[in-house]
Structure 1
Amino acid sequence: MHIDPFNIAKTCRNCLATMAMVAAVFSCSPSGGSKKDDGKAYAMLERVAEMNANGDKQGALQLADSAISLTPPDTTLCWLLSEKTVALVDLGRMTEAVDAGRKALEQAVKTADVEAQLNIRGALGVAYRRKGELDSALCEYDKGIELAVREKNTEYEIYLDNCAAVLFCESNRFDEALRYSQKAEKAALAAKDSVEWLSARANIGGVYMKQKKYKDVVRVMMPLWKEVESLDYNVLTLKYLSPLLKAFTELNDSKSLSLYMHYADRAMQGMSATSNGVLGILEIKATMLGREHRYTEQMMLLDSIAKANIQNHAMPEERLQAERAKCMWHLGMKDDAFCTLAQAYQRLDSVKKSDVERSMNEFAVKYSTLEKEMKIEQMNRRDAEQQSRILWLAVATAVLGIAVCIVAYRKRIAMQRAELESKRSYINGLENERTRLAKELHDGVCNDMLGVTLLMKTDAETAQCQLKEVWRNARHLSHALMPPHFKYATLPEVVQEYAKTVSNDEDKEVRINTAGNGRWDLLPQKESYELYRIVQETVANALKHGKGSMIDISLHADDNGAVAIRIENECGNNQPTGESGTDTGIGMETIRMRAASIGAEVNTAAHDGIYMVEVRKR
Structure 2
Amino acid sequence: MLKLPLRAFLFLLLPISLTTFAQDNDTKLSYEENIYNREKKHIDKTNELLNRGDEKVYKKAHELLTILKAKRSLVNVNIILAQYFKNKAFIDSSIFYVNEALKFNISNDTLQAKIQSSAYNTLATNYTIKGLFEESKKWHLKGIEAAEKFNEEYFYYANTHGLARAYMEIGDFEKSLKLFKKCLEYKEEKQIIYGSYINIGSVYAMLEDFELSEKYLQKGLILAKKDSSHYAHAVITENLASNAQDQGKYDEAISLYNKTIKLSEQYGFYQLALISRMDIGNILLNQKKYQEAETLYLKALDQAIKLGYLEQQFIVYDNLKQIALNQLDYKNAFNYTSKYYHLKDSVNILQKDKEINELEVKYQTTQKEKEILLLQVENKNRKLELEIEKKENENQILSLQCSAEQIEVENVLLKKDQEIKQADLKIKEANLARQKTIRNIILYSFLVILIPIIGLLSVYYQKHRTQRQLNKKQEEVNQQKISTLLNEQELKMIKASIDGQDKERKRIAQELHDSICGNIAAIKLQLSNVVNDVQGSSLQTINVQLNDTYDQVRNLSHNLLPKKFIHNNFCDVLEEYFTSIGDASKLITTFTVYPREEINLLEELIQIETFKITQELITNTIKHANASSVELQLTLSESILNVLFEDNGVGFDTKHFKSGIGLENIKNRLQNMSGILSIDSRIHRGTIINIEIPTLVKNIEEV
TM-score, structure 2 as length reference: 0.44
Which structure has more RCO (C-alpha within 8 Å, separation ≥ 6)? 1
Q: Which has the larger radius of gyration?
A: 2
User: TM-score under structure 1 normalisation?
Assistant: 0.49
